[in-house]
Each structure stands twice: as C-alpha cells, then as structure tokens.
C-alpha cells in the first residue's frame, strides 16, 4: 500500500518543488506517516510542529476529508492506502 501527501505551496520549497509526495509504506498512524515525510524532507517538520511536538494551530492535516484535530491528532489511525493533505489555515474578515 502507499501513503500520498498533498503539499501546499508554502512547503514545496522543502520538498524540491513537489506538490505530491508518495511513500510505498503502510504507516499505522498519521504521526508515523509524517515521520516518513520528515525523514525525506526535514525542513517540513519545523513548519508543521510546535516545539512541544504538536501540530501548529495554523496548519491543518486531513486524512481524506477528515481533520486529524477531531480524530486523534498524530495518533489518528490510517487505512492501508490513504491520502494526507497539509492545508494552511485561512482566515479573514
């Protein structure tokens, strides 16, 4: 199985310009999947996590169309093959 990451524009400088990064692996959790991404592209980690190891408030992570904020955070279990989207928060008034 595979895990696919959809990378937003502001992080593509750290993935060699790639908008899509795929790993032929079956990580059990979002945290394990992100570990694969961060091993291959270390600059992404610091832009996603706080110093305490939590996802930054302005970064949203989705497995399919489900936000990990409501499904267990980094411990969110993953199906065998999945797509993970990293989405910057948008706000305004």
**Alpha-helix residue ranges (DSSP H) falling in the chain:** 30-40, 43-48
Report how far residue 15's alpha carbon sits from residue 38's, in angstroms, rounded to the nearest whole number.
10
Residue 88's nearest CA partner among 29, 7, 19 is: 7
Q: Identify which has the larger pLDDT, 17 or 90.
A: 17
- The pLDDT, as a whole number, for residue 93 is 62
pLDDT of residue 74: 95
Looking at per-residue confidence, does 19 or 79 come out higher? 19
State the pLDDT at residue 82: 93
State yes or no: pLDDT of 33 exceeds 70.
Answer: yes
Q: Which fold has domain 3-88?
A: Ubiquitin-like (UB roll) (3.10.20)
Query: Average pLDDT of the chain?
Result: 93
Residue 89 in tokens: 């928060």
* 63 contacts 33 by C-beta, under 8 angstroms: no
pLDDT number for residue 32: 96
């Amino acid at each position: 199985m595979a895990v696919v990451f959809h990378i937003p524009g502001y992080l593509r400088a750290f993935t060699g310009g790639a908008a899509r990064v795929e790993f032929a692996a079956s990580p059990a959790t979002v945290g394990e999947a992100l570990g694969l991404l961060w091993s291959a592209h270390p600059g992404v980690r610091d832009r996603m996590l706080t110093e305490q190891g939590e996802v930054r408030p302005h970064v949203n992570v989705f497995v399919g169309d489900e936000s990990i904020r409501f499904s267990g955070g980094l411990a969110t279990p993953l199906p065998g093959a999945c797509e993970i989207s990293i989405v910057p928060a948008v706000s305004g008034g």
